[in-house]
Structure 1
Amino acid sequence: MSGTENRRLPAIASIRGVAVLFAALGVQQANAGLFDDEEARRQVSELTVKLNERLDTAARGQMELASQIQALRDETARLRGQVETLTYELDSVKKRQQDFYVDLDGRLRKIEAPAPTSVDAKTTDDGKPASEPPRKVASDPAAEAREYEAALNLFRANKLKEAAAAFEAFARAHPDSTLAPNAYYWLGNAHYALRDCRKTIEAQRVVVSKWPTHAKASDALLNVATCQQELGDSKSARATLEALLAKYPDTPAATAAKQRLKK
């Protein structure tokens, strides 16, 4: 073997060693790349599973929420129906109560109507008419009754503002009429229906102060106590109820006053 060939052998061995090294490195990189792909797939798979679980949970939550919303809608519809029914029944009760009091008012007016009396002209001893003090212009009971009935019909028709104005006009025009206490009483009721308790108290107190023996005086006093209570004046309301029991012990209003005082 020549010297030249002897020098080539170590070089060839070195080249082979480098080739083997590169081959080994290539295998490691391939394995590393393969490992990275498998890990990525595993992580993607795990994320997919978790995402699906969350989507399922969200879907179930939405279904439950939709079910609850529908249940609330059904309950709201049911309650609305009950409210409408109760409102109708309350309106019916109020209407029957108004009709009852109006009918009672008519019956009382028939009882309270004064009997007509004949007035004989007085004369002196010499046959001449005796002088008399000037009299007030005679009222027309029939006209008063028509005017009063017109106001009462407005109240019956639930035209409360018009009824209040009509009763007030009647009371001012006919202060000495036998229907005046009734007019003030219904004036107070009209104001109460209009949720004006202060005017209600004013009207009902006129009945109690000017006509204390009238059939409606006890009810008027009970109405005063009701408004005082609604205005937050419990002390005055209690005092009024106690006064009602003392003045009108044998009336239906007194029975109601006793029940209220027990509460």
Structure 2
Amino acid sequence: MKKLILLACLFAVPVHAALFEDTDARKKLQEMQLKETELDARIVSLEAVIKSGSLNDMLNQIELIKQDVSKLRGDLETLRHLNATVEQRQKDLYQDLDGRLRKMEEKSVASNPVPSGKVTEAPPLPEVKPPSDQEIYDEANQLLEAMKYKEAFQAFTDFIKQFPHSALLPDAKYALANTQFSLKNYKASLGTYQKLLDQHPDFIKNPEALLGLANAQIQLALIPEAKKSLKDLIKKYPKSDVIQNAQKRLKVLESIKP
């Protein structure tokens, strides 16, 4: 009898252990099935995003904007180089002219010596004329091209006050708006662009001013207003050089869902 009991105990232990092992295996299997379900759901979600095309469109638009920025930087570098070349040529011409004048003066003095005993009269001082509006505007514009934005801001502000009736007034206002934008004073830049458009409706650079206005509105998160400015630009100036940039920006803005 004792042998039978002992045999029963020996067989009972592995059966009990097997039950525990089977329970653990089922739990692990359920956990793995749950993780597999979650992964399937994520895959389905990602496939939906990719199939919708919105992600690809956004990436394409961002790449186009990067290309525009790169092109603008290249154009700016070319303009800087051209400006430096022109300035050097002007200096060379001035030095050459100054040298010729000096030689002419020396020859004149040598051919007309001053008689002894006579006191030469001092020549009258030349009349000093104040700088013209063109000269002052050019100086302010050189500051802007040299990216000295604070100095350029002050120079254009002074120009507008000093020459309120100048033919260069619209150009000065446009340059002032660009300077404010470069200083990241987008609110002031927006106001200057808007005044320019309202006060000078026939200004030749109004397409660029409208694009600048839209860019300032984008920086201030005024998306509906920026869309309207870009649409006005495309409608009023369909042959402008900035139309392509305006169309690209408008497409990006319209792809953004509120």
Compute the TM-score of the two structures, normalised by the length of structure 1.
0.47
Structure number with the bigger relative contact order (C-alpha 8 A, sep ≥ 6) is 2
Bigger CA radius of gyration? 1
Compute the TM-score of the two structures, normalised by the length of structure 2.
0.48
